[in-house]
Amino acid sequence: MAKGKKVTVIGTGNFGSTVAFIMAMNGTCHQVVLRGRNYDVAKGKALDMSQAANAARQHTIVRAAKGPEDMANSDVIVITAGAPRTPGMSRDDLLTKNAEIVKMYSREIKEHAPDAIVVVVSNPLDVMTYVALKETGFPRERVLGMAGILDAARMAHFIFEKLNYGAGQIRATVMGGHGDTMVPLPKFTTVAGVPIDDLLDSEEIGEIVKKTRNGGAEIVNLLGDGSAYYAPAKSTTVMVEAILKDTNQIHSCAVMLQDDYGYSDIVSGVPVMIGAGGAEKVINMSLKPLQVERFKKSVASVQEMINKLYELNFFK
What is the tens place of the pLDDT at every residue in 109-128? 999 999 999 999 998 999 99
Give the contacts of 199 (CB within 8 A, at least 6 positions apart): 163, 191
Q: Is 315 inside a domain boundary?
A: no
Question: Do 193 and 292 fall within a single domain?
Answer: yes
3-state helix vs strand vs coil in the chain, percent to 5: 50, 20, 30
| Residue numbers annotated as active site | 178
Looking at 127, 145, 163, the residue that finishes a domain is: 145
Question: Do 227 and 216 fall within a single domain?
Answer: yes
**Residue 86: what pLDDT?**
57
**Residue 92: what pLDDT?**
64
Count other C-beta atoms under 10 Å from residue 177's C-beta: 28
**Residue 177: what pLDDT?**
86
- The domain that holds 174 is classified in CATH as 3.90.110.10
**Residue 103: what pLDDT?**
97
**Residue 3: what pLDDT?**
55
Which residues pair with residue 143 across a beta bridge? 118
Q: Is 316 inside a domain boundary?
A: no
**Residue 311: what pLDDT?**
95
Domain hosting 278: range is 148-310
Question: Do 169 and 287 fall within a single domain?
Answer: yes
Give the contacts of 234 (CB within 8 A, at least 6 positions apart): 22, 153
**Residue 28: what pLDDT?**
87
Question: Do 157 and 253 fall within a single domain?
Answer: yes
Q: Which residues of the chain have pLDDT under 70?
A: 1-3, 85-92
Question: Do 92 and 208 fall within a single domain?
Answer: no
Which is it for strands 249-260 and 194-195: parallel, antiparallel or unpaired? unpaired
- The domain that holds 8 is classified in CATH as 3.40.50.720
Q: Is 273 inside a domain boundary?
A: yes
